[in-house]
Structure 1
Amino acid sequence: MGLSGALPLQVALVAGESVASFIRRLAAANGLEAADVLTYVGGVRRGVDPQAVEVRLGAAALEELAVLAGRSVDQLRRALPTARQAASGSQVRTVVWSAGQGVVQQCAICSQVRRDAVPAWLVAVQEFDVCARHGRWLGCAGSRSQLSLAKLPEVVVAHERRRRFERRVGPYAQALLADAFQVAVYWWQCGQMAACGRWARREAVLGLTRRRLWAVPIVVYPEVVTLAEAMAVRERQRCYGRGFDGQTTRWHTGRWTRWVGERLGLSEELAAGGERALNLWLMAHRNSVPVVARLAGSLPPPGYRAQQMQPLAPHRRLAAGPWEQVSCLPWRLGEPMTSVTWEGGGFPA
């Protein structure tokens, strides 16, 4: 069918939505198929499943979609992450989500409030998200794709802290969150801290009688955010060639590790062996600035704790992706942890 100008019924923009999802919602609201919209914006007629593929639009096709949606191109780019970079070659092409990329369904309660005919699908770098407004976990675990967090309010609070942390630290926050998650995975898989009261309680709230891999991000999320914040404190000092206590000659990593245990409320668990994962992280993030250079260096500038951080080794080149791929720590959730080693051996001073 022929289309021209804005469609009669518009749909609300959802922050973080995929282009394929937005096209399908816009089409459904007007009694059309997604293929009708794609035909108009790019001359290519094809069906779209947002869970399987994303639609890449060239500049002209994006302008045509903006006309149909009754929006500006800038509005679409702000709301739809993958619309921010124009597709090369053809005006419209569909691409299969690669490993480590995909979508999660938007909070069902949010969709009900908008009275959408079809749900929105959000671009997800991680395989989960949290709707802080309605206290729901959004994941990719089949029937468990959405779970109420009413009995796990600390997970919602942690998510809100994570967002503030990301704004405060900048892009380097993803590397620190990735490393913090991997440390928590180490603890969970080795059993050193997985049986601690709070993790066992969260698993019980989720109705688990056995440990399940899909539940790990939910179970450890509050500790991941707290640990990432602690890592940022140490990294800010490392940026200026200083240790955790502000000194220039030694790092005093043991003092930082003890402080982490106090912040997490897991001092006994760390002292009983949980500090190994932190030591492996410290090894990868050791200070390479000679003592002479540290002593000659200037003090950190006023207000440096409120500034976004510059990437530090081993994360000089930042890339978006699942935490286990972004992290400098080598182990993987669900794989044996019996032979974790680090090139060079030993622990940092």
Structure 2
Amino acid sequence: MLDDPGLYGPRRPLPLRVRPVPGESTGSFVNRLAHANGLSLAAFLDRVGQGEASAYAERVEKYPQSTEMYVNEAGLRYLAVLADRAAGLLQQDLPSLGAEHLLPGQEAAQWWWRWEPVAGHLVRYCPPCADAQGVGQTVWRMSPDSWQVCLQHGYWSDDSRGRGPDFVQLAELPETVTAQRVRQQLAEQWGPAGEELFADAFQVAVYWWTRMPDTARWVRRAWTAGLDAREMRAAPLVIYPEAAELARAMVDFEYAGQRDTAARTRWLESVEQLMSGWGVDAAEGRQALLVWLVRHRTEPPELGSPAGRPRLALARGHDRIASRTGSVSQRSCLTWQLGMAAADM
């Protein structure tokens, strides 16, 4: 027994073990553990404590892509015993079990199955990755963004719950694979500043797509992926390459440290040339760039260089708005959201 589950809790693990996938949603893991042991979800939950699974409990089991499970401390201990895995290890693998997400209440074990996650998105796990780990069922992971890219197998997955493919294989969209590599390189080279500048660039591209979804290269990518060019699900996938290239241009601007009017004008003109090459109307899209330049026109505070990494501190105007964690929209100083009307941006 890994933890003391209390007077009324489970005393032994279930006969068959299931190993969690790092980043997996609690609901996904619990479903897999229950089914591996021949239990219905309701029968399994009876062993975890008292809880609420919405007015239609059967839909929770049927639609794991729409729901997430949360527990209090006692519920976590019960789950740890059933899974034969230390509570701390479960918390490392299952983000929704983190201390910040535990339900209140210290006495009786409690669980709550919400229709929407508290933080992040439920995104399908890459099937070849699951197969390589011997996972026989569908796995849903918690992701800060509504999509994930598997570079090893060239899969794009998202939180889509409607029509269309469950996954997009990127063999015919190599520019999207390259864009994901650029995003990772920026994070590795520049740390949080690189991640936040990618987020800024992505938000600018969201602004462009909202106004110009019929841009030829974006339509072509959507059709290649088997998606409708104007559905929001397609937007992150089709704008990814331009966002990555724009992010590199933003890094160059920040690293140069020249913020006077002439420097900002030169940078704007260089990006508008990029837009022209992409077939993006510069006159329609330059407003987003101007907003970004306003956020980044002031000098950053003086900071020391992190060990092994060149210094790149972002402007105060950026830091006052952007978050250090979360989705691309949260990590950006540009606050509009995908799905907003153009007039609201």
- Give the TM-score normalised by the residue count of structure 1: 0.74
In structure 1, the gaps of 5 or more residues are: 290-296, 341-349
1:337 corresponds, among 332, 339, 342, to: 342
2:317 corresponds, among 313, 317, 335, to: 313
Partner of 2:172: 151
Q: Separation in 1 of the partners of 2:291 and 2:167?
A: 34
Q: Is contact 1:187-1:194 (8 Å) kept?
A: no
- Give the TM-score normalised by the residue count of structure 2: 0.75
Q: Is contact 1:35-1:45 (8 Å) kept?
A: no
One-letter amino acid of the counterpart of residue 231, structure 2: R
Partner of 1:347: none
Q: Give the C-alpha shift of residue 138 in structure 1.
A: 0.8
**Structure 1 residue 139 corresponds to structure 2 residue 139:** no
One-letter amino acid of the counterpart of residue 297, structure 2: R
Partner of 1:285: 296
Q: Give the C-alpha shift of residue 123 in structure 1.
A: 0.9
Q: Give the C-alpha shift of residue 217 in structure 1.
A: 1.0
1:65 corresponds, among 70, 75, 79, to: 79
Q: Is contact 1:39-1:45 (8 Å) kept?
A: no
Q: Separation in 2 of the partners of 1:30 and 1:223?
A: 47
Q: 3-state DSSP class of the match of 1:162?
A: helix
Structure 1 runs (4+) greater than 6 angstroms displaced? 262-265, 297-300
Q: 3-state DSSP class of the match of 1:159?
A: helix
Deviations, residues 321-341 of structure 1 (Å, cap 9, x unaligned): 55446544355545553686x
1:96 corresponds, among 105, 108, 115, to: 115
- How many residue pairs get aligned? The number is 322
Deviations, residues 236-261 of structure 1 (Å, cap 9, x unaligned): 55xxxx316xxxx6661123334546
Identity of matched residues, %:
34
Q: Give the C-alpha shift of residue 139 in structure 1.
A: 1.6
One-letter amino acid of the counterpart of residue 29, structure 1: A
Deviations, residues 57-91 of structure 1 (Å, cap 9, x unaligned): 33343233233223233322221112221514234
Q: Is contact 1:25-1:116 (8 Å) kept?
A: no
* Change over 3 Å in CA distance of 1:207–1:314 after alignment to 2: same
Q: Separation in 2 of the partners of 1:200 and 1:45?
A: 43
Relative to structure 2, which stretch is displaced further, 138-147 or 168-177? 168-177
One-letter amino acid of the counterpart of residue 150, structure 1: A
In structure 2, the gaps of 5 or more residues are: 1-8
1:6 corresponds, among 8, 13, 32, to: 13
2:93 corresponds, among 63, 69, 79, to: 79
**Structure 1 residue 127 corresponds to structure 2 residue 146:** yes
Q: 3-state DSSP class of the match of 1:129?
A: strand
* Change over 3 Å in CA distance of 1:188–1:32 after alignment to 2: same
Q: Give the C-alpha shift of residue 103 in structure 1.
A: 0.5
One-letter amino acid of the counterpart of residue 91, structure 2: R
* Change over 3 Å in CA distance of 1:182–1:270 after alignment to 2: same
**Structure 1 residue 206 corresponds to structure 2 residue 225:** yes
What is the aligned-residue RMSD (CA, Å)? 3.8
Partner of 1:180: 201
Partner of 2:5: none
Q: Separation in 2 of the partners of 1:134 and 1:58?
A: 37
Q: Is contact 1:184-1:220 (8 Å) kept?
A: yes
Q: Is contact 1:176-1:232 (8 Å) kept?
A: yes
* Change over 3 Å in CA distance of 1:265–1:133 after alignment to 2: farther
Q: Separation in 1 of the partners of 2:200 and 2:91?
A: 30
One-letter amino acid of the counterpart of residue 231, structure 1: M
Q: Separation in 2 of the partners of 1:82 and 1:299?
A: 34
Q: Separation in 2 of the partners of 1:110 and 1:69?
A: 22
Q: Is contact 1:17-1:120 (8 Å) kept?
A: yes
Relative to structure 2, which stretch is displaced further, 67-76 or 219-228? 67-76
One-letter amino acid of the counterpart of residue 257, structure 1: L
Q: 3-state DSSP class of the match of 2:45?
A: helix
Partner of 2:6: none
Q: Separation in 1 of the partners of 2:71 and 2:254?
A: 39
One-letter amino acid of the counterpart of residue 59, structure 1: E
Q: Is contact 1:154-1:222 (8 Å) kept?
A: yes
Q: Give the C-alpha shift of residue 176 in structure 1.
A: 3.0
* Change over 3 Å in CA distance of 1:288–1:131 after alignment to 2: closer
